[in-house]
Amino acid sequence: MRLIWLLSVVSIGLFATEVVQVADKYKDSGKCKACHSPIVKQWDNSWHAKSHYGNDEYFQKTIDYVARKSSGKSLNTIKIECATCHNPRISVTSTNAEYEAIAALHLDKDTAASKAIKSDAIVEGINCIVCHNII
């Protein structure tokens, strides 16, 4: 029984490592464009491509509005909350009261949350790798 459990844990660890490497290799649509140009063009004009804060003016304004109206939540926290759908590859999925205190003092520059929001892996919004397992 212990052997089965150990093999399960090891195989999950190996799979997770492989997924991270694949995600880094295909983090932007440029790698897909070489073979799938028509599909990438179609995606480029879709809502999926505009699902990142930096890619759509209306999305930005909505996030900014929600951040102003929410009590005690920073702009980055709202971005992270929305990113669970709008950027499902984001590495941080929630913040806590400690982060909010740091953000209120504008000392959150080097936090995991700030780095996750600025990550190159999510700037395209919902891109090819979100739905496709590329090996």
Bigger pLDDT: 8 vs 54? 54
| Residue 118: φ, ψ to 5° | -95, 5
SS (H, E, C) 76-118: HHHHHHHHHHHCCCCCCCCCCHHHHHHHHCCCCCCCHHHHHHC
Query: Is 130 a residue whose pLDDT tops 50?
Result: yes
pLDDT value for 66? 92
pLDDT value for 43? 92
pLDDT value for 132? 81
Q: Token digits for 28?
A: 């932007």
Quote the CA–CA distance of 56 and 72 in Å, as a whole number: 25
Question: pLDDT tens across 23-82, in order?
Answer: 567 777 888 888 899 999 999 999 999 999 989 999 999 999 999 988 779 999 999 999
pLDDT value for 9? 41
pLDDT value for 18? 42
Question: pLDDT tens across 100-121, in order?
Answer: 999 989 999 999 999 999 888 8
| Model-wide pTM > 0.85 | no
Domain ranges of the chain: 2-131
Query: Is 134 a residue whose pLDDT tops 80?
Result: no
pLDDT value for 133? 67
